Structure 1
Amino acid sequence: MPQQKAVIIGAGVAGIATAIRLAVKGYEVEIFEANSYAGGKLSQFEQNGYRFDAGPSLFTMPQYVDELFQLAGRDPRQYFNYQKLNVVCNYFYEDGTRLHAYADTEKFSEEIANKTADSAQAVVKHLANSRDIYEITNHVFLERSLHRLQTYLRWDTIRSIFRLPQIDAMRTMHKANTNAFKDARIVQFFDRYATYNGSNPYHAPATLNVIPHLEHHFGAWFPEGGMYAITQSLVRLAIQLGVKFTYNTAVDEIIIEGEKIRGVRTKEKVVEADVVISNMDVWFTYKKLLADRPNLHPKKTLEQERSSSALIFYWGVKKQFSELDLHNIFFSADYKAEFEHIWQKQSIYHDPTVYLNISSKLKRDDAPTNSENWFVMINVPANSGQEWDKLIAEARTNIQAKLSRLLKEDISKLIENESILDPRSIELKTSSYKGSIYGTSSNNQFAAFLRHANKSSKIKGLYFCGGSVHPGGGIPLCLLSAKIVADLV
């Protein structure tokens, strides 16, 4: 029997992981990538002596990366290494409160009890609830397709269905957190996890309170070599397994004959394939690659509310700050107003919550001597034609003022290098519709079931992976989408 061929559109982390899994199964695999590099959002760049991871900066669930090497019979440590963080993140509040989110649950709960009006017991109880949600949802809703009957006929699925009330889908995340804690600072702390998939805690279901478990049970990690080392190690493995990477080559069309995949068309040629997996945002997959087949378009799915986007300033800062760590959060004084600006006003609040990542804290050669590489990000709305140049200029001024105020240093005088990524450039570089980072939002209780399936119900041999489809965005879920697709194939 001749070897079957799989074509993957896009060399994002989900596309590479899918390629590895299919190569292990014996497929001939070719990835077409429009950019000159692999990784999609998980990429890097260097400028004036500073190196920046361009996209995702938080690494959790490293076992999903290790699993890919183990499937191929390789030792993960020969390709990829990482260290666990003792402090997941530092938090700065406008009232002067500073919290260290220790990885150790006991130390973390004591930190909150010592510095806020909440008790250690309340934190432990909340994290136990987070664990319960994970145990109910993980194997059923994250590791398998929600669009196959077989999923619902399994005993573990039936068990989870009987426990569905425990996932707290009928309350908002903010409501659940308000009931769990009495200190507004800790409510804000746990509300922030909604932003991990580009959602609004005042609308998203409390099911998203599963996310703290990923940090405080499985831990947060830093890859040796920075986040881009994930991409580099997976590309190396894929090449060793025979996967072909074709860069600077966009796929222009998915070719269908009857109700079956025939292959793809690039500018140069037609490439025939038995299966095609799109790692491109599902909106562009249909609107660009299947533009002449509107009968195939899932209109309701494509019209869903998009997740938030991001505005990122990459700053080379000519000073080292001892009070800062790898991950740092500077909270807005009015969280509700910030989210109202993002979601209702489609704008940027004058006092945004600022996330600051400094990889040179752990990888010193990412910045020159006595300097730091600052990845400064705020959550912003998806692109709908806003005056971005004006909004960016205002945000820069407000962010610098906020950081200067809380760090008691004029940050603007320390910046010697700047690059910017905004919703327009995110869409351009990563084919993410409207620059939304996580595909559709999770701002309703049925969001998990409304994400696009990993397999076409109309075209045999057409599959989908990545952050815009089930189970969602972020590195762990993208890797799980690859697992689901490979199992379906």
Structure 2
Amino acid sequence: MGQKTVCVIGAGVGGLAVALRLRARGYRVVVLEQQATAGGKMAQLQLGDYRFDRGPSLLTLPHLLDELFALFGRRRSDYLPIVQLEATARYFFSDGLVLQAWSDPDRFRQEVAAAGLPADRLADYLRQQAFLYTHTADFFLFSSLHRWQSYVGEEGRKSLRALPRLDAWRTMHRRNRSTFGDSALTQLFDRYATYNGSNPYKAPATLNMIAHLEHHTGAWFPKNGMHAVVQALQTLAEEQGVEFQFSTRVTGLRTQRSKVVGVETPAGVVEADWVVSNVDVTAFYRDLLPDKRRYRRLSRRERSSSALIFYWGLRLQSSLDVHNLLFSADYKAEFDHLFKYKTLAEDLSVYIFISKKVVPGAAPEGCENWFVMVNAPEDVGQDWKRLTARVREIVLAKIKAVLAVDVEQVLEEEAVVTPVDIARETGSVNGSLYGHSSNSPLAAFLRPANFSSRYKNLYFSGGSVHPGGGIPLCLASARIVDELLMEKDKDNKKGTP
């Protein structure tokens, strides 16, 4: 196909995956990244002797990474060793119940039964989620929903046949409550809505299939921390000749009729035959290729939640797991505050992620690195200094009450990230972690497409477009872009308009 040039804007995990796939096709690939390092939300933070993963904290569907290395005859394990976690998380409920969510469904069912919860319903529930995933993933996650061809293909027909069981017109919470009643399992499975920044009291029950990924396909963690995913992909890309330009801000795009012909930077214009944007698509139409109509339309859609994160280097050795969640007593109130009032409730669910449990070098001997997060609303001008101070008090009190740990007595290092920081550092509009929320039955179809309808050589990857946020979906978006671009390139060679 000759040495055509693809310019990828943004070196997040979706951008890296696109770069690798297109490099394997024989393109010259240039990646422009405004930060000094790759990763986007999958960045790393060093505080003294403590190292923290700043973004995603769990790896599912690792075969999507395997695919990228296999493109070049490499093994992912040589670049990125990972371990399978026995438990996905340890849950602490407001009534004192502690539940270990084992990755193995049989072991998890035994744990649930021992706690006096409805274990008999759990097996059927997980089988239903497995059905949803196996009958819809190829269509909803790995195909473009914005092309008619996807609906007449085998994947589309398979999903349409499963339509009566997709449960799209009930919310996640209604489905979970109808199965588990008022038991702790309802809150546990409602929690999966937060994996794409949504509200379980509004998001379609189809999203309950996320549970299948952890309890059937497995939960994994890189031996060197989550940022090692980025490092491995970048290393492979550089070995294969992908060109990176870091600390390079894209200021705009040059167009001619129905094509993008160049990407503007302070250092000059990068000419390209194809352009793939891995930045927040709303920000793209606001800043890089200004389009008031598209920007207004995207801005009107409800955005996902954000996060308020405390990074604490602590002089202690806890009995906690890698992933831990201290639930609030009123889960619905939390989500009402997030999406309706754009603030935080007085009783919060607190997520604690400790990579030291897998990565010994992430904290000094006898110490732990706590990534402590609460779900936060998008930034709409709140007083984050005041909110952060209040949330810190709530979180410290909850940890002391539930875990009997006085954080301030063992605190050695601390940093805080608010939605404002997330917006500034990652380009995510209003600090929303996943672009738009999935709080409607048609959310999957309303997510922005992976291609431009106006410019025939412009594509989009990453968490703000189809199929959504999170590592697996960003990798899926890269696969979709790869297939779309190849189809277009073949059409161009045949002279198809």
TM-score range, shorter chain: over 0.9
Partner of 1:487: 483
Report the alpha carbon displacement of residue 106 of structure 1 after superposing the two structures with TM. Answer: 0.9
Q: Which amino acid aligns with 2:77?
A: R
Alignment of 1:218-229 (within 5 A): 218-229=217-228
Q: Residue deviations 1:56-82, cap 9 Å, x none?
A: 111111111111001121122211110
SS at match of 1:59: coil
Alignment of 1:227-266 (within 5 A): 227-266=226-265
Q: Distance in 2 between matches of 1:172 and 1:349?
A: 22
SS at match of 2:310: strand
Which ranges of structure 2 fall in alignment gaps of 5 or more residues?
486-497
Q: Distance in 2 between matches of 1:286 and 1:255?
A: 13
Q: Which amino acid aligns with 1:304?
A: R
Report the alpha carbon displacement of residue 365 of structure 1 after superposing the two structures with TM. Answer: 1.2
Pick from 430, 449, 454 the counterpart of residue 434 of structure 1: 430
Q: Distance in 2 between matches of 1:303 and 1:32?
A: 29
Q: Distance in 2 between matches of 1:313 and 1:151?
A: 43
Deviates more, 1:24-33 or 1:158-167: 158-167
Report the alpha carbon displacement of residue 302 of structure 1 after superposing the two structures with TM. Answer: 3.6
Q: Which amino acid aligns with 1:107?
A: R
Q: Residue deviations 1:125-149, cap 9 Å, x none?
A: 1101111110121001100111112
Q: Distance in 2 between matches of 1:298 and 1:417?
A: 40
Which ranges of structure 1 fall in alignment gaps of 5 or more residues?
none
Q: Distance in 2 between matches of 1:76 and 1:354?
A: 33
- Please provide the CA RMSD for this pair: 1.1
Matched, 1:314 2:311: yes
Q: Distance in 1 between matches of 2:385 and 2:437?
A: 25
Q: Residue deviations 1:80-130, cap 9 Å, x none?
A: 110001111100112211000011111101111211331x22111110111
Q: Distance in 1 between matches of 2:202 and 2:156?
A: 27
Report the alpha carbon displacement of residue 393 of structure 1 after superposing the two structures with TM. Answer: 0.3
Q: Residue deviations 1:421-479, cap 9 Å, x none?
A: 11000000000000000000000000000000000011110000000000000000000
Pick from 465, 468, 475 the counterpart of residue 469 of structure 1: 465
Alignment of 1:356-435 (within 5 A): 356-435=352-431
Is the 8 Å Cα contact of residues 89 and 329 (structure 1) preserved in structure 2?
A: yes
SS at match of 2:285: helix
Q: Residue deviations 1:172-230, cap 9 Å, x none?
A: 11000010102431110010000000000001110111100000111111101100110
Is the 8 Å Cα contact of residues 275 and 462 (structure 1) preserved in structure 2?
A: yes
Q: Distance in 2 between matches of 1:2 and 1:193?
A: 45
Is the 8 Å Cα contact of residues 144 and 449 (structure 2) preserved in structure 1?
A: yes
Q: Structure 1 residues 74 and 95, CA, compared in 2 at 3 Å: closer, same or farther?
A: same
Alignment of 1:110-125 (within 5 A): 110-118=110-118, 120-125=119-124
**TM-score normalised to structure 2 length:** 0.96
Q: Which amino acid aligns with 2:392?
A: R
Q: Distance in 2 between matches of 1:484 and 1:348?
A: 36
Q: Residue deviations 1:368-415, cap 9 Å, x none?
A: 111100000110100000111100000000001001101123222111
**TM-score normalised to structure 1 length:** 0.98
Q: Which amino acid aligns with 2:426?
A: T
Partner of 2:171: 172
Q: Distance in 2 between matches of 1:382 and 1:294?
A: 21
Q: Distance in 2 between matches of 1:192 and 1:116?
A: 20
Q: Distance in 2 between matches of 1:317 and 1:439?
A: 33
Q: Which amino acid aligns with 2:183?
A: A
Q: Distance in 1 between matches of 2:199 and 2:159?
A: 26
Partner of 1:72: 72
Partner of 2:106: 106
Report the alpha carbon displacement of residue 298 of structure 1 after superposing the two structures with TM. Answer: 5.8
Report the alpha carbon displacement of residue 261 of structure 1 after superposing the two structures with TM. Answer: 1.3
